[in-house]
Amino acid sequence: MSTPWAEVITALRALVDDFTTNGVEKLPPERDLAASLGVSRGTLRRALAHVEGEGVIYRVRGRAGGSFIKQVVESAPIHSAMFELRSNKLIRDLNHVAGVPQMLARQGRSARTEIIAESLEQPTGSIARLLGIGSGEPVVSLLRLRYADEETWSLERIYLSAERFPNLLDLSPIEALYQELERHYGVSVHSFEEHIEVNPADARVAGLLGIHKGAPLYAMRRVSWDENGDPVETSVDFFRTDRTRLRLAGWFDSGDPRTS
Amino acid sequence: MSTPWAEVITALRALVDDFTTNGVEKLPPERDLAASLGVSRGTLRRALAHVEGEGVIYRVRGRAGGSFIKQVVESAPIHSAMFELRSNKLIRDLNHVAGVPQMLARQGRSARTEIIAESLEQPTGSIARLLGIGSGEPVVSLLRLRYADEETWSLERIYLSAERFPNLLDLSPIEALYQELERHYGVSVHSFEEHIEVNPADARVAGLLGIHKGAPLYAMRRVSWDENGDPVETSVDFFRTDRTRLRLAGWFDSGDPRTS
DNA sequence: AAGTGGTCTAGACCACCGA
DNA sequence: CGGTGGTCTAGACCACTTT
């Protein structure tokens, strides 16, 4: 947290927590808030837009308007209750890349990760290209089985450059990968691209997930990049379609800074 | 196009077109561009961020930096060629809600829409709730079959408030729904929420799509809202999983206005 | 009328990186 | 060093909505 902007976000989150415990639902006017935080209104508004994007607050115009704290059910997406879904599926939120365990926690589910394998490998050509390394350079490969409510949910294969992240395997077992990368290497994911298909499970994957061979699975391929546009990791995840609902929310511009 | 910001976006797109035909790859510096467009640099930068989000330009820092026009392959997402995908699937881009026909055109595919039904109906309870109307009020219902390369791709069911959009059915056949709503009612979609599941096709849907009963389909439920937060439409789309790859790209904040 | 968020401006300074 | 994009500021005015 070095930039003013990031500090303001942190301060806002703390303020929201504080207000929530004290039963206050409305934040001060933007002009006052900016002054008390020692930043300009523009900077404050960018931070407000960010936490609004996180679903922490919402803003209302007009004389009785302001920035209000959302006392959400928060476990579920805002309108999901309105969808006529009798299913009890787990939600994979496509708006947030990180944190499968956190995602499950917010849905009131238990999460467990089983490390199937952690190893150094010679990458295939396409993996090397995706990571922007030579095909002779080794990659760290993680294979993890995710459980939700003590039942299999997904199988994840992740590749990272071994040269860029030395001694990564010493951190084993790696549960929250992105946090570790941030902490030990100062690398954070800034953008990503994900492709999703539905394919029948092959024998090996079906065996690990405990499902029938040929059952449809989401196959999600992802690449993520840091702020310089350098690849951070690439992965292939298989999610059980019988337990998973994908959720996606978005919005279009209105001329004011927004975040995603 | 009334606000400066929207006008600048339009001007930028035109400028990019102009430069492209003249073989120029780099836009003028932001300060010059802002002056020549008669707006402040901040406003210009918001517009630049927007068109960057559309994938039209990219920006580079440093002395030799600038805003560069992407001479994209454009049909395909940037890195899809790098994914080891032998498949020839159609891409459903989750970053852009509107324009299935446009989406197909950019992939070099032919598009065709067959209207199966257009009618006024009494909504079910959940549809009425999603649209924020009473269950006694009628809704306009559209059922459309989408073809890509002369083969079925998806079946879409859309509901709108008949009271909010009077005489909508007179515009038949409705191909580009969002454009019609904008043009005739001044309504544009500002945000949306989408839930995706994979379900086996029932007999009727399978028949319309010409696939086997029980074949896995993406079932996408969506609600969209205008800038005031009022519901615009809700729909359920079924996409063939054997012909479809979902694509999703995203990025996180860096303190500067971004768009999605 | 008055207070709120929403947009825009002009200018300053910083961070980056090739000339 | 110097030109580029990236961030921040202070202030003005607009749009909206309740008083």
Q: Whole-number mean pLDDT of chain B?
A: 86
Q: Is the pLDDT of residue A20 over 70?
A: yes
CA A113 to chain centre: 16
Can you read off the two tokens belonging to residue B12? 């930028």
> Nearest nucleotide to B64 by CA–C1' distance?
C18
Q: What is the pLDDT of residues B160-189, one digit of tens each?
A: 999 999 889 888 777 778 888 888 888 888
Q: Is B7 left (phi over 0), alpha (psi -120 to 50) or beta?
A: alpha
Can you read off the two tokens belonging to residue B27? 């836009």
- Please indicate whether, in this complex, the C-beta atoms of B259 and A252 are within 8 angstroms of each other: yes
Q: Is the pLDDT of residue B214 over 80?
A: yes
Average pLDDT over residues B239-251: 90
Half-sphere exposure of B164 (CA within 13 A, CB side): 19
Q: How confident is the model at residue A33 (pLDDT cuts 50, 70, 90)?
A: very high
B214: nearest CA in chain A?
Answer: A216
Task: Please count the residue pairs, one from chain A and one from chain B, whose beta carbons lie less than 8 angstroms apart.
Answer: 155
Share above pLDDT 70 across residues of chain B, in percent, rounded to a whole number: 89
What's the confidence (pLDDT) of residue A88? 80
Average pLDDT over residues A44-70: 91
Q: What is the pLDDT of residues B26-61, one digit of tens each?
A: 999 999 999 999 999 999 999 999 998 887 899 999
Task: Give chain D positions with protein CB within 7 A.
Answer: 2-12, 15-19
Strand bridging mode A191-200 / A139-148: unpaired
Which residues are CB-neighbours of B259 under 8 A, at least 6 positions away? A252, A253, A258, B49, B50, B53
Residues B93, B109: contact at Cβ < 8 Å? no
Q: What is the pLDDT of residues A112-156, one digit of tens each?
A: 999 999 999 999 888 898 898 888 899 999 999 999 999 999 999
Q: Is the pLDDT of residue B93 over 70?
A: yes
Residues A59, A68: contact at Cβ < 8 Å? yes
Helix (H) or strand (E) holding B38: none
Residues A250, B95: contact at Cβ < 8 Å? yes
What's the confidence (pLDDT) of residue B2? 66
Average pLDDT over residues B13-30: 94
User: Residues 173-232, chain B: which have Cβ within 8 Å of A?
Assistant: 188-198, 216, 218, 221, 223, 227
Distance from the first to the final alpha carbon of chain A: 19
Q: Is the pLDDT of residue A196 over 60?
A: yes
Q: How confident is the model at residue B6 (pLDDT cuts 50, 70, 90)?
A: confident
Can you read off the two tokens belonging to residue B22? 């003249």
Q: How confident is the model at residue B123 (pLDDT cuts 50, 70, 90)?
A: very high
What's the confidence (pLDDT) of residue B244? 95
CA distance linking residue A187 with residue A233, whole number of Å = 11
Q: How confident is the model at residue A98 (pLDDT cuts 50, 70, 90)?
A: low
A6: nearest CA in chain B?
Answer: B255
Q: How confident is the model at residue A83 (pLDDT cuts 50, 70, 90)?
A: low
Closest by alpha carbon to B67, among B36, B26, B107? Answer: B26
Q: What is the pLDDT of residues B185-212, one digit of tens each?
A: 888 888 888 999 999 999 999 999 999 9
Q: Is the pLDDT of residue B256 over 60?
A: no
Residues forming beta bridges with residue B60, ordered by sequence position: B66
Closest by alpha carbon to B110, among B82, B157, B141, B146? Answer: B146
Residues A222, A194: contact at Cβ < 8 Å? yes
Which residues are CB-neighbours of A13 under 8 A, at least 6 positions away? A51, A56
Dihedral angle of Cα A58, B259, A188, A44, to the nearest 10 degrees: -50
**Residue found under tokens 């768009």:** B259
- Could you tell me if B254 lies within 8 Å of chain A, comparing CB atoms? yes
Q: Name which of A223, A241, A256 is nearest B198 (Cβ-Cβ).
A: A241
3-state secondary structure chain A: CCCHHHHHHHHHHHHHHHHHHCCCCECCCHHHHHHHHCCCHHHHHHHHHHHHHCCCEEEECCCCCEEEECCCCCCCCCCHHHCCCCCCCEEEECCCCCCHHHHHHHCCCCEEEEEEEEEEECCCHHHHHHHCCCCCCCEEEEEEEEEECCEEEEEEEEEEECCCCCCHHHHCCCCCHHHHHHHHHCCCCCEEEEEEEEEECCHHHHHHHCCCCCCEEEEEEEEEECCCCCEEEEEEEEEECCCEEEEEEEECCCCCCECC
Q: What is the torsional sign of CA A21, A25, A30, A36?
A: negative
Half-sphere exposure of A147 (CA within 13 A, CB side): 11
The shortest C-alpha distance from B20 to chain A (Å) reads 25
